[in-house]
Structure 1
Amino acid sequence: MLIVATLMGASASISTAWAQETHSHPAPEKLGTVSFPTSCAPNVAHDFERAVALLHSFAYTAAETAFQNVAKADPACAMAHWGAAMSYYHELWGPPSPAELQKGQAEVEQAQRLNAKTDRERQLIAAIAAYYRDADRLPPPVRAKAYEKAMSTVAKNYSADTEVQVFYALSLIATAPPEDKTHANQKRAAAILEPIYRSYPDHPGIAHYLIHAYDSAELAPRGLAAARAYSKIAPSAPHALHMPSHIFTRLGLWDDSIASNIAARTAAHNQHDVGEELHAMDYLVYAYLQRGRQKEAEQVVAELDAMDALSGSDFKVGYAATAMPVRLAMERHQWDAAIALKALPESAPHVAAVVYWARAVANARAGHPQAASDDIARLDTCRQQLQAAGNAYWATQVDVLSKEARAWQLAANNQPKEAVDQLSQAAAEEDAVEKLPVTPGPIIPAREQLGDLLLSQHRPQEALQAYRIALADAPGRLGALTGAAKAADLAGDTRTAQQMRAKLPEKID
């Protein structure tokens, strides 16, 4: 059983690998408690469990290296190759690159050739093989579902095996349909994890995956205990320090989110994990803005501007680096700053779309509706590219952005009814799907924008209703609270206006 894993100075090459792989989270000095018996040689048991613990904290590159070292120490250990294959499958992030797919397939084949000594191990290897099978013709969601289905069988066969149950729960979260607002998969995962968590409170994967299971407006209150625990289970891991802010953001606990992401950012910077540092910085900017601490948000964006050679090709890096200056400009209605934004080099369509949206909306709201047309056309092109690539989730998100931009252009062109219709459609479309873990939420929720539009049309009661819905999904957002207070005043609803103002920060920079 691995109780505490510490980084030995053994491996400078591992540190270099971490710095190069921005999708990965560097190996923490403390990994928590993992018990994963295998038929491998007794002398590799500790190292194998350490590798599994790394995997649970999404330290993918370090986990890959650790599993490969186990394979070198025990060439007959089939499960070492299972672990290496698992390290290329980033279940809650983007799918493996072509190179990672090739490596994963090779590891699966080697694991199968070694013919693991126990049925449990053979079933786990068969499950990850289901993900890599036919990777040249089947899209990632189909293969992820195949893995989840295979893990369901393993979980039934080994219902008392903690690690099997934990990995199965993660597969359920990874295959949860974004459009399922009942959160059926997440609830199934939580029902598996919660009883195990009571027995194994120091297990990194259980706390980590409970946070992801509860990362929705409906379920977030249930995630507070795991959120506060995970950072203590693996306090040296940037990702463990950041993860509580997923729940804090859902609940509008901005001071907690700020503290969480300052710690995560510092740890990530010290460990040269650019992706995790930017991820924490994006959540930090978001929380600062909601708390009214605008100068501190400005400082984070200034520090972002000083970072060299950021590219939009890596989604985790590209999204965070793109979103931060957009948030800063758009949340504060600084239209000129938004109009001047530029997309990062090599940005994926759904990353560049954030900039095109900001420029289009800013031009329209600044009274230049015709100037918005080119960026609206760019948004349409991004959506078409995503649809052609089979990326339905992000195609939908970009369609929402396009409708929002068109709505503000219509409003600027004195077409108020058409503008409200378009923005109402965007809000309904956005409400119908959950966000992905890479973002704290939309730059400005469509429902909140609808409130702004209705308020500008002197329809305060309808605006207040839009703001209420927006706040139910994203509590504590400064723009929605401010707008709701204004709308309530204009509607003569003094009590609601007072309630909304009572939730505003005491001081706004």
Structure 2
Amino acid sequence: MANTALPSDFHTVKDYAFDTGAYGMKITTSHPDAQVWFNRGLVWTYAFTHAEATLCFQRAIKLDESCAMAHWGLALALGPNYNQPWEALRKDLPDIVRRTYEASRRALALTTDRSPVEKALITALQSRYQSDEPAPIEQYHKQNQAYCDAMGAVYQRFGDDLDVATLYADALMILTPWKLWNLVTGKPNPGTRTLEAKAVLEKALAHDAAKRHPGLLHHYIHLMEMSPTPELALIQADHLRTLVPDSGHLCHMPSHLDFLVGDYRAAISSNTQATIADEKFMHHRGTKGFYTLYRMHDYHTLIYAAMFAGRKGIAMDTVNRMESTLPLEMLKAMPDYCEVFMSVRSHVMVRFGMWTEIIDYPLPEDPELFCVTTALAHYAKGVAYAATGDVPNAMKQKELYEEAAKRIPDSRLDFPNKCIDIVGIASAMLDGEIEYRRRNYAEAFDHLRRAVQLDDELGYSEPWSWMQPARHAYAALLLEQNHVEESAAVYRADLGLDESVIRARRHPNNVWALQGYHECLVRLGRDAEANIIRPQLTVALALADVPIQSSCFCRTDNEQAADAEKSCSNNKCKM
């Protein structure tokens, strides 16, 4: 065990700063407080808060050095996980392989007189950590497979144990993290063991106790979010929302499904709770460490939910909170992972048509460090100038954007997407906006269709790496030029009302596309369909805190939208 000084709230079990809920796994220990610390460590492990988990397991070991499962937990928490496979641990690999090997072997040496399931779990973990010397990454893939096979044998013996089921499903999923499903076909990717993991989790979820098991619920959400039927995990998501009050990540996780079913209000609620928990965690543990990325992710997701719900106030407030809690020293230490969060402001301001604020907002002082932020700031300024009719300045910003984009390294990420791919969408969008204002409409729409294509080709992530769907600008400008049928088709795809785009690219119930589609239906005289959409739109508009007459503020002539609304209110579209 590393000689790491534990925080002051680890002095006694009652001093601990965080509420990790009631879940626990009964283990063999001579000290009742060691059981408490083990339970906390296991819950944090299930919550992907691994640094905190290791502290809890270390505290359990201090109380009971002979507690085999505390050493097992330490080895488990220090190793790879669904969000951090071996490749992501490469920088600290020598230390990690040494510590995991030592902890796992210490656990093995203490298995005498332990329960059969404890012995089985500890023995299986030896397959993941086979040496204390670093090896090529390919070797760790083999060790992942060996561990998965060993856990399969444990599952055959103890299949009704919910922790065993969770750990086996985790081992199956880690073989191909974030590649469990083919988003186009809706089938598992070749070479994955997705359906096995699904069967294991769903068998376990049939137990009444499953609704109180954070690891089981968490893994099922991850398993199903990229599937063609994410809604099947909504009940499990609801069980998880408040199960571990001080785990920001677990509070956040249900929103992965909320987006996919169009429940943006629930996504706002879950991520609001997540950011409150995260800020409590930050207060006690500081702003350094890998969990800062999870905290940024929760802010980012709250902003994304607010954008889809038309909640400018929440979106801008959260941008300010996010930026103020990302320390410069961590940004400098991990620019490839952290810098992209500083670029989110541009997405939000474009979404809400904050043209004056965009034009006046200062550029970063360090364009090399803030390369993505600088590029997207020039993009946003270009859109703002175009939307306000100042084409010459829009074109100047396009030139500045192109120069800034050249500084973005291939390594810079909005995980899992490369930022150089993301800014490709910005380039096509800005070209489209400028040509539109120059009245070169055919060329403008070609650029915007290209932006839609590039947007769709991004790798799956929540939030999506391009935060305002390119379809929203494209459809709004089509509608402004009276291409009503074509615009309606674009909105229909965005809302998921047909099968023209993959599930992950649909945004059910979003107020922007509902407004645009409703206008299309009214203008096309399709009043029965408009009546179907109208109740959803009414609710969505009630939740927004800004007037929404179009799916994009880049559409400057909203008289037709207002006329359609008036026609619907006064005539055939009455509810």
Shared fold (TM-score greater than 0.5)?
A: yes
Aligned to 1:476: 509
Q: How does 1:120-139 map to 2 (within 5 A)?
A: 120-127=121-128, 134=135, 138=137
Structure 1 residue identity aligned to 2:397: A
Q: How does 1:216-255 map to 2 (within 5 A)?
A: 216=226, 218-255=228-265
Query: Distance in 2 between the 1:489 and 1:132 partners?
Result: 68
Normalised TM-score (structure 1)? 0.78
Contact 2:246-2:277 within 8 A present in 1 as well: yes
Contact 2:416-2:459 within 8 A present in 1 as well: no
Q: Deviations over 1:5-43 (max 9, x none)?
A: xxxxx942669xxxxxxxxxx9742344343757x8787
Query: Distance in 2 between the 1:386 and 1:308 partners?
Result: 17
Change (3 A) 1:302 1:123: closer
Aligned to 2:179: 177
Contact 1:31-1:54 within 8 A present in 2 as well: no
Structure 1 residue identity aligned to 2:73: G
Structure 2 residue identity aligned to 1:149: Q
State which of 468, 478, 484 in structure 2 corresponds to 1:454. 478
Structure 2 residue identity aligned to 1:209: H
Change (3 A) 1:392 1:228: closer
- Judge which range, 303-312 or 216-225, deviates more: 303-312
Query: Distance in 2 between the 1:477 and 1:180 partners?
Result: 25
Residue 190 of structure 1: how far off its partner (Å): 3.3
Unaligned runs of 5+ in 2: 1-5, 112-118, 497-505, 547-575
Contact 1:312-1:348 within 8 A present in 2 as well: no
Query: Distance in 1 between the 2:219 and 2:410 partners?
Result: 33
Aligned to 1:372: 398
Aligned to 2:56: 66
- How many residue pairs align between the two structures? 481
Change (3 A) 1:155 1:258: same
Q: Deviations over 1:62-97 (max 9, x none)?
A: 111122334445556676555334434563545656
Aligned-residue Cα RMSD (Å) equals: 4.1
Aligned to 1:431: 456
Contact 1:261-1:283 within 8 A present in 2 as well: yes
Structure 2 residue identity aligned to 1:288: A
Change (3 A) 1:216 1:409: farther
Normalised TM-score (structure 2)? 0.70
Unaligned runs of 5+ in 1: 1-9, 16-25
State which of 172, 193, 217 in structure 1 corresponds to 2:201. 193
Aligned to 1:18: none
Structure 1 residue identity aligned to 2:96: G
Structure 1 residue identity aligned to 2:166: V
Residue 459 of structure 1: how far off its partner (Å): 1.9
Q: Deviations over 1:447-506 (max 9, x none)?
A: 333323433443221121112111211112222222223333444434444444432334
Query: Distance in 2 between the 1:153 and 1:457 partners?
Result: 60
Contact 1:482-1:500 within 8 A present in 2 as well: no
Structure 2 residue identity aligned to 1:379: A
Residue 133 of structure 1: how far off its partner (Å): 5.1
Change (3 A) 1:65 1:296: closer
Query: Distance in 2 between the 1:444 and 1:357 partners?
Result: 13
Q: Deviations over 1:370-425 (max 9, x none)?
A: 421321343355364459x9976555444444443444345455554444344334
Q: Deviations over 1:294-323 (max 9, x none)?
A: 334444445556658456455776544542
Aligned to 2:348: 328
Contact 2:54-2:74 within 8 A present in 1 as well: yes
Residue 242 of structure 1: how far off its partner (Å): 2.3
Aligned to 1:466: 490
Q: How does 1:238-387 map to 2 (within 5 A)?
A: 238-272=248-282, 275=292, 278-303=296-321, 309=327, 312-313=331-332, 318-323=339-344, 325-339=345-359, 340=361, 342=363, 355=377, 357-366=379-388, 367=391, 368-379=394-405, 381-382=407-408, 384-386=410-412
- Judge which range, 400-409 or 337-346, deviates more: 337-346
Residue 253 of structure 1: how far off its partner (Å): 1.7
Change (3 A) 1:104 1:353: farther
Give the 3-state SS of the residue equivalent to 2:402 in structure 1.
helix
State which of 147, 155, 158 in structure 1 corresponds to 2:154. 158
Residue 229 of structure 1: how far off its partner (Å): 0.7
Query: Distance in 1 between the 2:83 and 2:378 partners?
Result: 24
Change (3 A) 1:378 1:121: same
Change (3 A) 1:32 1:312: same
Query: Distance in 2 between the 1:390 and 1:247 partners?
Result: 18
Structure 1 residue identity aligned to 2:41: A
Change (3 A) 1:452 1:224: same
Q: Deviations over 1:228-249 (max 9, x none)?
A: 1113321232223222222222
Query: Distance in 1 between the 2:244 and 2:128 partners?
Result: 28
Query: Distance in 1 between the 2:91 and 2:456 partners?
Result: 36
Query: Distance in 1 between the 2:471 and 2:531 partners?
Result: 22
Residue 128 of structure 1: how far off its partner (Å): 5.0
Contact 2:57-2:70 within 8 A present in 1 as well: yes
Identity of aligned residues (%): 21
Change (3 A) 1:494 1:92: farther
Residue 206 of structure 1: how far off its partner (Å): 0.8
Change (3 A) 1:151 1:394: farther
Give the 3-state SS of the residue equivalent to 2:508 in structure 1.
coil
State which of 414, 420, 424 in structure 1 corresponds to 2:445. 420
Change (3 A) 1:461 1:407: same
Structure 1 residue identity aligned to 2:350: M
Contact 2:487-2:520 within 8 A present in 1 as well: yes
Residue 119 of structure 1: how far off its partner (Å): 5.8
State which of 512, 515, 519 in structure 2 corresponds to 1:486. 519
Q: Deviations over 1:322-356 (max 9, x none)?
A: 42x23431111223433436459685766766545
Change (3 A) 1:70 1:470: same
1:167 matches 2:192 = no
Query: Distance in 2 between the 1:385 and 1:235 partners?
Result: 35
- Judge which range, 313-322 or 153-162, deviates more: 313-322
Tell me: higher relative CO, structure 1 or 2? Use CA pairs within 8 A at least 6 residues apart.
1
Change (3 A) 1:506 1:143: farther
Query: Distance in 2 between the 1:356 and 1:168 partners?
Result: 48
Contact 1:249-1:440 within 8 A present in 2 as well: no
Contact 1:155-1:165 within 8 A present in 2 as well: no
